[in-house]
């Protein structure tokens, strides 16, 4: 057993010395992700509010003004300008000054009084799908509300839906994005640091020297994983602290459970970093390969886009991405107060992935020596 | 001779490329064995195979009686290795580098402290103990690399171009260390480009195009039949302005090889043409000489190039 891991302790000790000697690594490891967290945490807001809207009111009646007031009251539309002609209205959208145009035709009030259907045209710039979707829903809602008010003079609606948001009542984007971002930041940092640390040894010839000593591949790899795992764990604690203090995202579940279930993810990304390090010849190559693992983790892990909305092929891919499972753990514990009993399957999958990654990396390492 | 390193018909192929072709030799205990050859001739590959890092395609070898195919792990515990890249961690201090390699070889506690003191004493690097390895000069880096390579008291040490790119004083100091250790029974296997280094070695092997061309003591190599082809003599030509004369001498039919050596020209000429050569160069003074090690290797290389054509 001890022969299998020969060299683990001295490698581990030496790696800690490297980290302490090189303040650049520490800075990169701890501060850069913090900056990214602040940037992304503040910048990403998918809640649609105050969309600039141009109004072309041909009717100019009390009825049309009432309708426009409802639009303005929705908080989704911000009536920024009025247009005097259809051309002017289209111009406002084309130039990007407005994303939505509301056109109330001259016969609006007349039709309304006569009991024939009155039409309102809502033009939406579809180039931002989130904004467009929200604008469509809200305008239909506004129209429906006005119609019902006309049909039911006492204003009593037979069925009332009471949507109530569990877990993220304020619908804040930070609550949704910051837990996911934690996974991405941890992955970037750890994959990069550990792969660079091995490739640096290859470039400087110390790896060749190590292969001439009794150090075993597993001893070398696990000796490298421990220091960077510790660094990653520290980073995780720091991210959670910033999340709580700066973004006011409360952790509904047990912090202990979250930290414990983070270990298999750390194991997996350390393994991925090691796999990269067996392939990359230069530090630049290691950097590129590390970044290559980040893209699918950002787009296919459910961090930004819902996995359920993806075509089956991409859903399949998302199932082999470790970040997918960890993001579910993070959101589960932080937002919904889930625990081991809900997320043990995710933790188990990550553990299996992690062990597999390390064994594959060790194999690749042995193979490439000969 | 009690052989410590042996290679028997060692052959190593990478795909269709043969890096080492049927190489056999034996190195005795306490010997300093020099291995010469141009870049890419297979020197490092042989070292890797002997240390058990590469499995030979054919043939076999032993280190201290252990089979290089089966006992790689045990061999690594008993050999030291130092390359031109040194294998040092530049951001760690001299002491930390030595501690690290002691740990890697499984030496700890009291024994590690004792052994560390010994290698520091031997290499004379104690005064730099707290200095970062990256701040040492080339010569001191090499001493540190040697200290790390012998921390586990190996009986066999492989040195892969250990003195590439350092100054002559540091080089000589390092060789003195090798001689000191070899006196204690440590066997050295040294690859080098330098002829003067090769001449310091007890025995020398010359590898060219993956094949071991010649092996023996310097005197044995100088007397090799292939280095002194029958019907030729090796001469030194003292002539005014040898650089100008060289071209003219090379064009003479009976001259097989000619090169400048200090203020004269060394040449290998056909015995029959010697008298006419003397006439063609009335201003020259000619004397017969022994071939230098360089002469031997050049002549052997030319012969192989001619034979393979």
Cβ–Cβ gap A205/B83 under 8 Å: yes
What does the pLDDT look like over A106-133, one tens digit per residue?
888 888 888 888 888 888 888 877 778 8
Residue B220 sits at the vertex; the CA angle it makes with B216 and B222, to the nearest 5 degrees, is: 115
Residues of A within 8 A of B56 (CB-CB) are none
Q: Please tell me the predicted confidence (pLDDT) of residue B186.
A: 95
- SS3 (DSSP) at A95: coil
Cβ–Cβ gap B87/A369 under 8 Å: no
Asked whether the predicted pLDDT for residue A370 surpasses 90, the reply is no
Q: Please tell me the predicted confidence (pLDDT) of residue A170.
A: 64
In whole angstroms, give the CA distance from residue B208 to residue B193.
Answer: 12
> Strand B156-160 vs strand B187-192: parallel, antiparallel, or unpaired?
parallel
Q: In chain B, which residues have pLDDT < 50?
A: none
| Residue B103, phi then psi, degrees to nearest 5 | -65, -40
Q: Please tell me the predicted confidence (pLDDT) of residue B206.
A: 92
A17, A210, A215: residue with CB nearest B96: A17
Q: Please tell me the predicted confidence (pLDDT) of residue B1.
A: 63
What stretches of B68-200 adopt beta strand conformation (E)? 79-83, 156-160, 187-192
Cβ of residue B71 closer than 8 Å to a chain A Cβ? no
What does the pLDDT look like over B233-281, one tens digit per residue?
999 999 888 888 889 888 888 888 899 888 899 999 998 888 888 888 8
What does the mean pLDDT of chain A come to? 87
Weakest-pLDDT range from A214-218, A304-308, A350-354: A304-308
Q: Please tell me the predicted confidence (pLDDT) of residue A151.
A: 77
Distance (Å) of CA A353 to CA A5, A270, A321, A327:
21, 11, 9, 15
A308 exposed, middle or buried (CB, 10 Å; 0-12, 13-18, 19+)?
exposed
Residues of A within 8 A of B87 (CB-CB) are 205-206, 208-210
Q: Are A33 and A188 in contact (CB under 8 A)?
A: yes
Q: Are B128 and B97 in contact (CB under 8 A)?
A: no
Residues of B within 8 A of A206 (CB-CB) are 85, 87-89
Nearest-Cα distance to chain B for A2, in Å, is 11
Asked whether the predicted pLDDT for residue A2 surpasses 70, the reply is no
Residue among B14, B19, B92, B103 with most chain A CBs within 10 A, to mutate: B103
In whole angstroms, give the CA distance from residue B64 to residue B75.
Answer: 8
Residues of A within 8 A of B91 (CB-CB) are 17-18, 21-22
What stretches of A90-233 adopt beta strand conformation (E)? 100-104, 121-124
Neighbours of B218 (CB within 10 A): 18
The A residues from 3 to 42 touching B (CB cutoff 8 Å) are 3, 6-7, 9-11, 13-14, 17-18, 21-22
Nearest-Cα distance to chain B for A301, in Å, is 39
Cβ–Cβ gap B55/A211 under 8 Å: no
What does the pLDDT look like over A235-257, one tens digit per residue?
999 999 998 888 888 888 999 99
pLDDT category at A1 given cuts 50, 70, 90 is very low
A18, A211, A214: residue with CB nearest B77: A214
Nearest-Cα distance to chain B for A219, in Å, is 10
Cβ of residue A210 closer than 8 Å to a chain B Cβ? yes
> Strand B156-160 vs strand B79-83: parallel, antiparallel, or unpaired?
parallel
Residues of B within 8 A of A22 (CB-CB) are 91
Q: What's B86's DSSP letter?
A: T
Residues of A within 8 A of B83 (CB-CB) are 205, 208-209
pLDDT category at A42 given cuts 50, 70, 90 is confident
Asked whether the predicted pLDDT for residue A103 surpasses 80, the reply is yes
ipTM, two decimals? 0.85
Residues of B within 8 A of A9 (CB-CB) are 103
Cβ of residue B81 closer than 8 Å to a chain A Cβ? yes
């Amino acid at each position: 057993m001890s022969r299998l891991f020969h060299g683990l302790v001295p490698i581990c000790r030496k790696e800690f010395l490297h980290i302490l000697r090189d303040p650049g690594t520490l800075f990169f490891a701890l501060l850069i992700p913090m900056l990214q967290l602040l940037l992304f945490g503040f910048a990403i807001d998918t809640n649609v509010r105050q969309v600039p809207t141009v109004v072309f009111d041909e009717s100019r009646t009390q009825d049309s003004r009432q309708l426009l007031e409802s639009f303005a009251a929705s908080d989704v539309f911000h009536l920024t300008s009025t247009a005097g002609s259809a051309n002017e209205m289209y111009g406002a959208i084309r130039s990007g000054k407005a994303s939505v145009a509301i056109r109330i035709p001259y016969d609006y009030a007349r039709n309304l009084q006569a009991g024939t259907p009155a039409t309102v045209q809502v033009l939406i710039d579809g180039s931002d799908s989130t904004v467009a979707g929200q604008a469509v829903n809200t305008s239909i809602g506004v129209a429906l509300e006005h119609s019902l008010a006309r049909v039911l003079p006492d204003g009593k609606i037979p069925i009332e839906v009471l949507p109530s948001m569990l877990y993220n009542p304020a619908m804040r984007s930070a609550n949704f994005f910051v837990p996911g971002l934690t996974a991405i930041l941890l992955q970037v940092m750890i994959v990069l640091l550990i792969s660079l640390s091995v490739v640096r040894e290859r470039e400087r010839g110390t790896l060749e020297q190590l292969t001439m000593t009794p150090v075993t591949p597993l001893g070398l790899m696990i000796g490298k994983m421990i220091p960077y795992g510790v660094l990653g764990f520290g980073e995780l604690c720091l991210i959670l602290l910033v999340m709580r203090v700066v973004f006011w995202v409360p952790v509904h579940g047990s912090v202990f459970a979250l930290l414990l279930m983070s270990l298999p993810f750390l194991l997996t990304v350390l393994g991925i970093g090691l796999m990269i390090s067996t392939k990359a010849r230069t530090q630049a190559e290691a950097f590129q390969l590390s970044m290559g693992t980040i893209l699918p983790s950002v787009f296919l892990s459910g961090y930004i886009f819902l996995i359920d909305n993806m075509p089956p092929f991409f859903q399949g891919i998302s199932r082999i991405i470790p970040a997918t499972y960890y993001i579910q753990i993070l959101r589960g514990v932080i937002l919904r107060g889930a625990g081991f009993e809900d997320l043990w399957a995710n933790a188990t999958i990550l553990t299996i992935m992690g062990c597999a990654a390390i064994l594959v990396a060790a194999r690749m390492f042995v193979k490439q020596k000969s | 001779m009690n052989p410590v390193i042996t290679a028997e018909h060692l052959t190593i192929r990478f795909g269709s490329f043969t890096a080492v072709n049927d190489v056999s030799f034996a190195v005795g205990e306490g010997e300093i064995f020099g291995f010469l050859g141009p870049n890419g001739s297979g020197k490092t590959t042989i070292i890797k195979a002997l240390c058990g890092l590469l499995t030979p395609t054919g043939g076999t070898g032993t280190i201290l009686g252990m089979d290089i195919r089966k006992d790689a792990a045990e061999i690594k515990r008993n050999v030291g290795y130092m390359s031109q890249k040194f294998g040092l961690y530049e951001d760690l201090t001299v002491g930390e580098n030595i501690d690290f390699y002691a740990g890697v070889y499984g030496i700890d506690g009291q024994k590690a402290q004792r052994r560390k003191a010994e290698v520091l004493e031997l290499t004379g690097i104690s005064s730099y103990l707290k200095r970062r390895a990256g701040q040492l000069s080339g010569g001191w880096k090499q001493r540190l690399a040697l200290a790390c390579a012998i921390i586990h008291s190996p009986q066999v040490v492989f040195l892969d171009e250990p003195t590439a790119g350092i100054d002559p004083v540091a080089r000589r100091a390092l060789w003195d260390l090798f001689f000191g250790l070899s006196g204690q029974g440590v066997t050295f296997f040294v690859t080098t480009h330098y002829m003067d280094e090769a001449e310091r070695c007890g025995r020398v092997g010359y590898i060219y195009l993956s094949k071991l061309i010649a092996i023996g003591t310097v005197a044995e190599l100088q007397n090799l039949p292939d280095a002194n082809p029958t019907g030729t003599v090796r001469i030194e030509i003292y002539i005014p302005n040898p650089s100008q004369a060289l071209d003219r001498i090379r064009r003479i039919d009976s001259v097989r090889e000619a090169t400048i050596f200090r203020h004269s020209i060394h040449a290998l000429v056909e015995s029959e043409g010697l008298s006419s050569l003397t006439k063609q160069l009335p201003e020259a003074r000619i004397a017969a000489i022994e071939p230098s090690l360089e002469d031997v290797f050049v002549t052997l290389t030319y012969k192989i190039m001619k034979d393979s054509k």
